[in-house]
Each structure stands twice: as C-alpha cells, then as structure tokens.
Amino acid sequence: MADKVSATLRRFLRPPEEVVRTRSEQAMTDTMSIVVDAPAQQLWDLVTDITGMGRWSTENRRGRWLNGAVEPRVGAWFIGVNRIGPLTWATPCEVTVVAPLAHFEFQVHIVGPRWGYRLEPHPGGTLVTEYREWSYTSAFNRALRWSGPLGRTRDNHALHGIPQTLRALKAHAETLRAGQSDKLPARPTE
C-alpha cells in the first residue's frame, strides 16, 4: 500500500524522465517515442480508433464520434470521456491531421492542447511517437501557469500518462500481432 501511495505522489510531484519537453515561440510540446513490433497499418487502426482509446490510456475511458462521423477525417468531431479517480469529464475534440499510416492529431477544445501520434518505419517494427502540444495562448496553459504548484501537479499527472499509454499500446499491439487476442493486456492504472 505504501508503494502505491509513493508512486501516486511521484506522479503528481515530478514529470516522467522519458517525456521530452521542448519550447518554441508559440507552444510547448511534450513527446515520447517507443518502437512497437507491429506494422504501421495495425498501429494506425489502433491510434485512430477513438472509441477504443480507453483500452490503453490511463485517463481516457472512451470516445464517441459526433455528427455522423465514423472514422478519422480532418474536421470530424468526437467526445472523449476521461477519468482521474472519482472525477469524470467529457471533452469535445476535433481531428486536425489525418495522414494515413503516418500522423493522426486532434485538438481538445475548451482547454486547447493538440494530442497526436506519428508512425514511422523502424528496424524491428514501427516507431510510435505520442505528443501533446500546448499553445501558450490556450486557456488551460494560462490556467496551469496561474495556478502554480496545483497546475504543475495536474500537468505532471497527464505527462505520466504518455509513457503508460505508449507501453500499454505496445503490449496491446504486440499481443494482437502474436495472435493472442484472448490474452490482451489489462488497461493501465492511474
């Protein structure tokens, strides 16, 4: 029990070392990459399936396409349902980039970040990069800065979700590729 409490505290107090933060004049971007022993088509199908993202995300539980959309296309909208502990909320999102087998991105409206996945051929499979980009002018970015330590703890929690999500995606994809769909890994915990 003490180990779980300690891990949870670390999650809120420090950002993960695997996630790299870069800054430009317009935005800050957090990225992490992982090699997955699976073809790009399989990974594309997984990262663009917003209805199933909750299978490997620590925060997202599910998504639902809106306005008749059934697949990713630029301008399509969906609702993402997220949860941290007992707190559940929904966010409207708009697909902003669709480059099949290479790049999928969506913007979370109201709070402002863009989340995305890039897929690149790599020896041993596909290099999957997950990123989050915050415009300095986004409402949530400003709120994080104004809230000081409280904002940093929320940001750190979200950043810890990136490596956990990528590892769970890798386990899921590699299990599917091995033909062991009846032994899919459990979703990651917060």
Domain of 107?
Answer: 17-178
Domain assignment present for 57: yes
pTM: 0.84
Domain assignment present for 87: yes
Write the CATH number for 98. 3.30.530.20
- Antiparallel, parallel or unpaired: β 20-23 and 27-36: antiparallel
Domain assignment present for 7: no
State residue 85's pLDDT score.
83
Please check whether residue 109 is in contact with residue 95, taking contact to mean a CB–CB distance below 8 angstroms: no
Domain assignment present for 3: no
d(CA 147, CA 139): 12
Domain assignment present for 10: no
User: How many structural domains comprise the chain?
Assistant: 1
Separation of CA 175 from chain center: 20
Domain assignment present for 1: no
State residue 58's pLDDT score.
86
State residue 114's pLDDT score.
94
d(CA 144, CA 8): 20
Domain assignment present for 2: no
Domain assignment present for 190: no
Residues of the chain under the 50 pLDDT cut: none
